């Protein structure tokens, strides 16, 4: 039973990372119907920036805040400069542009910081916490806390600020929003900025576990896809719940189903995506689209 609880906890911890990245994917998908394949690489790049800042002598939380700010500005700039020119082009054109971004970020990171793995510090204490016979990693608990804090902030922003309302309006009905005086183009750019910030949090939280290297986010992004699919690509809440569920399932299956182990871990994500798509394509919390013909 102890093992079970521990696995669930570490599942929740990795789930928090998937949830952050899935949330980033969902935010962009909701606003523009595009899946940003470069989301994970953008997060990886932001994490490298944080690493450089810390190497230059900045304290952890200083670098943390600065990285999130840079990621936000970077996300806005990418949307305005790179995505906007192809906004109204066929969807595959936009997909190719995000794939182009993916290889650029990956390659530039490898060029600037080399492909060697770099240790990345965790802001949380090293000693694990003990509750009876169950041991919790402090980094795991910290990760879950950070994810939850980010979520609450995001919820408050979208629910209670005029800007959040304007962004929701722009995502739901661009034409009417424009008539109501909302600058839809800028709202989309802000959405990209927020998504990039969330991705950066995911990167900063996962780097101490996986150690930093340019291909760090590849596997994470697949699980984020699985999380977003499970929760529903149209629901931010779903993305978060999906992230935690995927994290738990991944850990439990890896522990208890012996023939899967670590070798077929990605296949588990595949199986999850396909089962969800076949049973309930809109995901647990997603809306089903009803179209008039």
Interacting residue ranges for other proteins, rule: CB under 8 A: 29, 33, 35, 82, 85-86, 89-93, 95-97, 99-104, 106-108, 110-111, 222, 225-226, 229, 233, 263-267, 269-270, 273-274, 277-278, 281, 293
Residue 113 Cβ vs other proteins, minimum distance, rounded to whole Å: 12
Q: Is 179 exposed, middle or buried (0-12, 13-18, 19+ CB in 10 A)?
A: exposed
Q: For residues 8 and 104, which CB has a smaller minimum distance to other proteins in the complex?
A: 104
Residue 274 Cβ vs other proteins, minimum distance, rounded to whole Å: 6
Q: For residues 99 and 148, which CB has a smaller minimum distance to other proteins in the complex?
A: 99
Q: For residues 50 and 273, which CB has a smaller minimum distance to other proteins in the complex?
A: 273
Residue 160 Cβ vs other proteins, minimum distance, rounded to whole Å: 31
The beta strand positions in 53-120, using DSSP E, are none
**In angstroms, rounded to a whole number, what is the distance separating the alpha carbons of residues 96 and 104?**
12
Residue 272 Cβ vs other proteins, minimum distance, rounded to whole Å: 9
Residue 85 Cβ vs other proteins, minimum distance, rounded to whole Å: 6
Residue 79 Cβ vs other proteins, minimum distance, rounded to whole Å: 14
Q: For residues 160 and 259, which CB has a smaller minimum distance to other proteins in the complex?
A: 259
Q: For residues 194 and 268, which CB has a smaller minimum distance to other proteins in the complex?
A: 268
Contact between residue 54 and residue 119 where contact means Cβ atoms under 8 Å apart: no
Secondary structure of residue 137 in the 3-state scheme: coil
**In angstroms, rounded to a whole number, what is the distance separating the alpha carbons of residues 104 and 99?**
9
What sign does the dihedral 249-254-259-261 (CA atoms) show?
positive
Residue 93 Cβ vs other proteins, minimum distance, rounded to whole Å: 5
Residue 19 Cβ vs other proteins, minimum distance, rounded to whole Å: 17
- Picking from 265, 133, 254, 150, the residue whose alpha carbon sits closest to that of residue 199 is 150
Q: For residues 93 and 211, which CB has a smaller minimum distance to other proteins in the complex?
A: 93
Q: For residues 188 and 273, which CB has a smaller minimum distance to other proteins in the complex?
A: 273
Contact between residue 191 and residue 28 where contact means Cβ atoms under 8 Å apart: yes
Which conformational region is residue 181 in: left (phi greater than 0), alpha (psi within -120 to 50 degrees), or beta?
A: left
Q: For residues 111 and 155, which CB has a smaller minimum distance to other proteins in the complex?
A: 111
């Amino acid at each position: 039973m102890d093992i079970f609880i521990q696995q669930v906890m570490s599942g929740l911890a990795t789930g928090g990372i998937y949830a952050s990245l899935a949330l980033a994917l969902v935010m962009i998908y909701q606003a523009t119907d595009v899946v940003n394949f470069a989301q994970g690489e953008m997060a990886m790049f932001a994490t490298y920036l944080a690493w450089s800042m810390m190497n230059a002598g900045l304290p952890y939380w200083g670098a943390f805040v600065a990285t999130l700010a840079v990621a936000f500005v970077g996300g806005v700039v990418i949307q305005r400069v790179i995505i906007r020119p192809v906004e109204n082009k066929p969807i595959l054109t936009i997909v190719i542009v995000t794939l182009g971004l993916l290889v650029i970020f990956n390659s530039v990171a490898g060029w600037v910081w080399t492909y060697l793995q770099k240790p990345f510090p965790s802001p949380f204490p090293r000693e694990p916490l003990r509750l009876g016979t169950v041991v919790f990693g402090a980094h795991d608990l910290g990760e879950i806390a950070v994810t939850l804090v980010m979520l609450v902030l995001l919820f408050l922003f979208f629910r209670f600020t005029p800007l959040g309302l304007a962004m929701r309006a722009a995502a739901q009905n661009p034409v009417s929003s424009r008539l109501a005086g909302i600058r839809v183009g800028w709202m989309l750019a802000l959405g990209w900025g927020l998504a990039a910030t969330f991705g950066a949090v995911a990167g900063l939280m996962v780097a101490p576990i996986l150690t930093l290297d340019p291909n760090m986010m590849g596997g994470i992004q697949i699980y984020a896809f699985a999380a977003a699919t499970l929760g529903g690509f149209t629901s931010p809440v779903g993305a978060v719940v999906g992230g935690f569920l995927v994290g738990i399932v991944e850990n439990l299956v890896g522990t208890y189903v012996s023939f899967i182990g670590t070798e077929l871990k990605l296949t588990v994500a595949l199986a999850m995506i396909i089962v969800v798509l076949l049973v309930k394509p809109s995901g647990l919390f997603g809306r089903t689209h009803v179209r008039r013909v």
